Amino acid sequence: MRKHVLMTTVALFVGATSTNIAAAGDVEVLHWWTSGGEAAALNVLKEGLEGQGIGWNDMPVAGGGGESAMTVLRARVTAGNAPTAVQGLGFDIIDWAKQGSLANLNDVAAKEGWDDVIPAALQQFAKVDGKWVSAPVNVHSTNWVWANKAVLDANGIAVPTTWDEFVAALDKLKAAGITPVAHGGQAWQEATVFDGVAMSVLGPDGYKAAFIDLDEATLGSDSMKEVFDRMGVIRANVDENFSGRDWNLATAMVINGEAGFQMMGDWAKGEFINAGKVPGEDFLCFRFPGTADQVTFNADQFMMFDQGGNVSPEQAALASAILAPSFQSAFNVVKGSVPARTDVSDEAFDACGKKGMADLAAAAKSGNLFGSMAHGHASAASVKNAMYDVITAHFNGEYDSATAVEELVDAVSIAK
């Protein structure tokens, strides 16, 4: 069944891109899509390109959130050997563009009308100083919770919509001997949870003030202490083996019914789908309690590194293929994300995907769409990393909440 779906989506994609710029040659693609669900999504792109006669030279660097991939990238660029295309997020893309490392995709973008179909929230990270420098693949968001439906049902738990209801659900699961929260102890995963917790406590204005404007008063506020207190509650509901666990193994705990919930971006849905699970039947997706109207987003893009001259035909073909509407649908159905274009139908998407698309459109319209701090869409890498350090130190019991707030203010003021 799954195979059939994949083959159909690939066929669709190849068909739709056959009019795209033809090119011979290879692309080397550096990315961090190494989990089962991620690899399945990547295959949609790989096979589609191969259908156009473009060879795929795979350069995977494991590590959710892409920190390790970015380290490898820096080494490659320093050695004068940049890959053709590189998965990138938010402010990292802007940094590489400002350093003059990225090729100019304006010709492809103009020919295909990217200006009209790619939302402004994404253009701010794809178009730098009037130059398109990367091809947006998708939009993910981080303020999601994933739950095992059978586990919730067996314990009389309804989808929690407030923090208090969520805590009551965690208590019930703990009493029943089930791990309430599946979590992997890695800084980026703690920061991902923090996105949702912070949005629910600080609200949209406070989230923006703290993570985008880096306002010292908000960073040092009593509300921020409450954010850390709630992170402490979550910490008290993870299993004892959480340290260092990869995010997809945490998702597997929810899939297997070993744990009730996981707070993770919608790439987690790719794992449920890859395991043959169905939303609404086997698992549930809902926004972190208290963030029903908000979306903290991150968009994967492929930055095209300048290979010494104009954009290469392979790079142009890859960019064009990525933005093809049929690819945007086929890929994102598998990946768990939603399309990076506003004109793609939600028809092929499951219930969580449809919700993701509707939430994104509504949040953009009502001014409730904000870049994810955890995934590089709120501030530059230096600030993001400074925040990671404090959040993870607190999660691991190094700081109490009051100290964490002070450390956060200090760390951000040094890093910014």
Q: How far is the CB of 32 from ligand BGC (least distance, A)?
A: 5
Helix orientation angle between 313-323 and 36-50, rounded to the nearest 10 degrees = 120
The conformation of residue 305, written as its DSSP 8-state character, comes to B
For residue 103, the tally of other CB atoms under 10 A from its CB is: 25
Do β-strands 259-263 and 144-148 pair in parallel, antiparallel, or remain unpaired?
A: antiparallel
Q: How far is the CB of 389 from ligand BGC (least distance, A)?
A: 18
Q: Which residues pair with 147 in a beta bridge?
A: 261, 284
Q: Toward ligand BGC, which CB reaches closer, 88 or 206?
A: 88
Residue 60, classed as helix, strand or coil, is strand
Q: Which residues pair with 56 in a beta bridge?
A: 27
For residue 366, the tally of other CB atoms under 10 A from its CB is: 11
Q: How far is the CB of 66 from ligand BGC (least distance, A)?
A: 5
Q: How far is the CB of 63 from ligand BGC (least distance, A)?
A: 7
Instruction: Give the E-state strand segments of 216-331 in sequence order.
Output: 259-263, 283-287, 295-298, 300-304
Q: How far is the CB of 88 from ligand BGC (least distance, A)?
A: 10
Report the candidate in 204, 351, 374 with the shortest Cα–Cα distance to residue 297.
374
Q: Toward ligand BGC, which CB reaches closer, 20 or 142?
A: 142
Q: How far is it, in rounded angstroms, from Cα 88 to Cα 106?
A: 18
Q: How far is the CB of 306 from ligand BGC (least distance, A)?
A: 23
Helix orientation angle between 325-335 and 36-50, rounded to the nearest 10 degrees = 160
Q: Toward ligand BGC, which CB reaches closer, 127 or 375?
A: 375
The conformation of residue 289, written as its DSSP 8-state character, comes to T
Q: Toward ligand BGC, which CB reaches closer, 139 or 409?
A: 139
Burial zone of 342 (CB within 10 Å; 0-12 exposed, 13-18 middle, 19+ buried): middle
- Radius of gyration for the chain, computed over Cα atoms and rounded to the nearest angstrom: 21
Q: Toward ligand BGC, which CB reaches closer, 279 or 376?
A: 376
Q: Toward ligand BGC, which CB reaches closer, 298 or 328?
A: 298
The label of the residue with tokens 């130059």 reads 131
Tokens for 188? 């980026």
Q: Which residue is nearest to ligand BGC (CB)?
A: 267
Q: How far is the CB of 34 from ligand BGC (least distance, A)?
A: 8
Report the candidate in 364, 336, 331 with the shortest Cα–Cα distance to residue 350.
336
The contact set with ligand BGC (CB under 6 A) reads 32, 38, 64-66, 89, 140, 267, 298, 300, 375
Q: How far is the CB of 39 from ligand BGC (least distance, A)?
A: 10
Q: Toward ligand BGC, which CB reaches closer, 140 or 245?
A: 140
Q: Toward ligand BGC, which CB reaches closer, 207 or 267?
A: 267
